Amino acid sequence: MFDITGQKRWGIIGDGQLARMLALDAYALGLRPVVLTGDSSSPAGQVSPLVVRGHVDSREDLHALLSQVDGAIIESEFVDCDALEATGLAEKVYPRTSAIRILQNKFEQKKLLESLGVKSSSFYPLDKKNMEGAVASLTHNFTKPIVLKFATFGYDGKGVLVLRGSGQRDQDLAGDFLLTATKRRIDVYAEDFVGFDRELAMIAVRGRDGTIKTWPLVITEQKSGVCERVTGPAVSLGIKKEIETEAQIACEKIGAHLGLVGVFAVEFFLTSSGDLVVNEIAPRVHNSGHFSQNAGCVSQFENHWRAVLGLSLGRTDTAPFFMMQNLLGPAEVTSKDCAQAPRGAESMHVHWYGKRGISPGRKLGHLNAVSHSVDNRGDLISAVQSAYGRWQEEQRQMFLNAQNAQKGPS
Ligand code: ADP
C-alpha cells in the first residue's frame, strides 16, 4: 500500500520513545510510518504525520491501522493478542502473535528457556487461589532470597520484589505486592534470587529467511530497576569471549525456536561464579541497544525494519568502545512541562524523546558516545557523566524556578 508520495506504508503499534525512533528510521529507508496513537503529541505522534487515532488494545483501532498498511511492528510486547487476531489481519504483524504470547509472559519465558536448555534461575508457580499462603511457605525456613515477579506487564523494575528473609517485613511487602497484582489481574510467580556480579544484554536481529546477527554483548547498569547506562563491547571491558559466545547461542536458539523476525533483546546475569543466566527476553527493539544508533554499525531500529521488510540485514560490528547514558528525570522533580534536551554535549549524540512532563527516573532521552580506542574510554565516560549531571541540575533548577514563579513574590 502506497501513499501519495509513492512510499510504502508500515504501521507502528505504540507511540512512545521506541516507536519514535522506529518511525525516524523508517523514513530513512523510504517508508511512511503510520502510528497508532490517541495523542498526536506523543513521542512517536510528533514525528509521524500519518496517524490512526485510537488505542493499541482496541480491535477496531487495530483493524483501522492494519487495513491501510503492508505490515506492522509492535513497540511493546504488552499488546492484546486476542484483539490483534480478532482483526483477521494479524499475519501482517511482526513478530507473530504466537511468539508475542509467550514472550509477554515471564513465566512462559521461563518454561521456554528450560525447554531450550538455556540457563535461567529456577522458578515456581504460585497457587492463584492462595498466593499469600504460597509466598509464606516459600519464605518459611528462609535459606536464600527469592524474587516475586509479575508474569505480565512488568517494566523498569515495576513488578519485581526481592524478599531477603526479613520475616514480618517480607510478609508485609509481599502482601502489598500481591494485592496490586490481584487488583490488576496479573499472575505472580517466584524465582530464585541470582547473586550476580554484572548485568549483561545482547540484541539480535533475525531476518525473514532465518539469518541472524547479534550486536556485541554489553554491560548494563540499573538504578532502582531502571537501566541507567550501557557500555560495550563487554569483551573489551573484561568479560570473557566465551561468555559472549554463550549469549549468541542463547539468542540463536530463542530466535529460531520462536521464528522471530526483527530485533529482540536478551538480558542476562553474570553470576559471581562466572555463569551466564538469562533474566528476560524482549521481542522488540530495546533500551540496551540504543548505543547502536551511533556505534558505527547499522542501528537496531533500521535493522528491525530491514528484517521485517525482508531486506538483507545491516552490519552489527561496532567501534572499539561505546556508551549509552539514559537521561532519567532527577529525584524530587515532578512537573507537567519542565524538561529540556541537554545542551553543550559536544562529544556525544543527543536523542530526545519529546515527552511531556518529568518525574524521577522517567526516561526522557539518552546520550550516545563512541571512542576509537578502548584505552581512551575514561575521558569519554567522565565527559558523559558530567553532561548528565549538568543536565539533571538544569532540570532541577528549572523546576525550582517554575515553583518560585508560581508562588509569586513573598
Ligand atoms: P523489568 O522487566 O521490570 O525490567 P526484570 O525482571 O528485568 O524486570 O528485573 C528488574 C531488575 O531486578 C533486574 O535488572 C535485576 O537487577 C533485578 N532482578 C530481577 N530478577 C532477579 C533475580 N532473579 N535475581 C536477582 N536480581 C533480579
> Best substitution site from 77, 147, 153, 160 to test ligand 1's pocket, by max atoms within 8 Å of Cβ?
160
Enclosing H/E stretch for 106: helix 106-116
Rounded to a whole number of angstroms, the CA Rg of the chain reads 22
Question: Which of 368, 410, 397, 354 lies closest to 16 in space, CA to CA?
Answer: 354
Cβ pair 311, 250 in contact under 8 A: no
Indicate if ligand 1 lies below 6 Å from the C-beta of 160.
yes
Distance (Å) from CA 335 to ligand 1 centroid: 28
Distance between CA 335 and CA 338 in Å, rounded?
6
Indicate if ligand 1 lies below 6 Å from the C-beta of 133.
no
Domain 9-94 annotated CATH 3.40.50.20: yes
- Both ends of the chain: CA-CA distance in Å? 62
- Work out whether the CA dihedral 101, 190, 219, 247 comes out positive or negative: negative
Question: Which of 38, 30, 39, 33 lies closest to 354 in space, CA to CA?
Answer: 39
pLDDT score recorded for residue 410 = 57
| Residue range(s) occupied by CATH 3.30.470.20 in the chain | 196-402
The SS3 of residue 309 is helix
Strands 218-223 and 262-271: unpaired
Indicate if ligand 1 lies below 6 Å from the C-beta of 280.
yes
Distance (Å) from CA 151 to ligand 1 centroid: 12
> Best substitution site from 279, 287, 363 to test ligand 1's pocket, by max atoms within 8 Å of Cβ?
279
Question: Which of 177, 101, 190 lies closest to 139 in space, CA to CA?
Answer: 190
- Work out whether the CA dihedral 86, 88, 94, 98 comes out positive or negative: positive
Distance between CA 48 and CA 41 in Å, rounded?
10
Distance between CA 323 and CA 346 in Å, rounded?
15
Distance (Å) from CA 225 to ligand 1 centroid: 7
Q: Whose CA is nearest to atom 5 of ligand 1?
A: 157
Question: Which of 264, 299, 302 lies closest to 27 in space, CA to CA?
Answer: 302
The SS3 of residue 96 is coil
Distance (Å) from CA 303 to ligand 1 centroid: 27
- Work out whether the CA dihedral 164, 167, 172, 177 comes out positive or negative: positive
For residue 320, what are the β-bridge partners? none
CA distances from 8 to 69, 74, 200, 270, 394 (A): 8, 18, 37, 43, 42
| CATH assignment, 196-402 | 3.30.470.20
pLDDT score recorded for residue 142 = 62
pLDDT score recorded for residue 36 = 97
Indicate if ligand 1 lies below 6 Å from the C-beta of 228.
no
pTM: 0.94
| Residue range(s) occupied by CATH 3.40.50.20 in the chain | 9-94
Distance (Å) from CA 27 to ligand 1 centroid: 35
Q: Whose CA is nearest to atom 11 of ligand 1?
A: 225
Indicate if ligand 1 lies below 6 Å from the C-beta of 156.
yes
- Work out whether the CA dihedral 49, 54, 56, 62 comes out positive or negative: negative
Indicate if ligand 1 lies below 6 Å from the C-beta of 159.
yes
Question: Which of 214, 206, 104 lies closest to 155 in space, CA to CA?
Answer: 104
pLDDT score recorded for residue 409 = 66
pLDDT score recorded for residue 338 = 79
Cβ pair 328, 345 in contact under 8 A: no
What's the average pLDDT block by block, 10 residues per block, for the chain (410 residues)? 83 98 96 95 95 95 97 97 98 97 97 97 84 70 82 90 81 86 91 95 98 98 93 97 98 98 98 96 98 98 98 97 97 89 87 95 96 93 95 93 78
| Residue range(s) occupied by CATH 3.30.1490.20 in the chain | 122-192
DSSP letter assigned to residue 12:
E
pLDDT score recorded for residue 264 = 98
Strands 31-37 and 8-13: parallel
Question: Which grid cell sits at 206?
Answer: 533475525
Question: Which grid cell sits at 128?
Answer: 492463584
DSSP letter assigned to residue 272:
T
Indicate if ligand 1 lies below 6 Å from the C-beta of 145.
no
Distance (Å) from CA 266 to ligand 1 centroid: 12
Indicate if ligand 1 lies below 6 Å from the C-beta of 66.
no
Options 1.10.580.10, 3.30.1490.20, 3.30.70.1150, 3.90.1150.10; CATH of 122-192: 3.30.1490.20
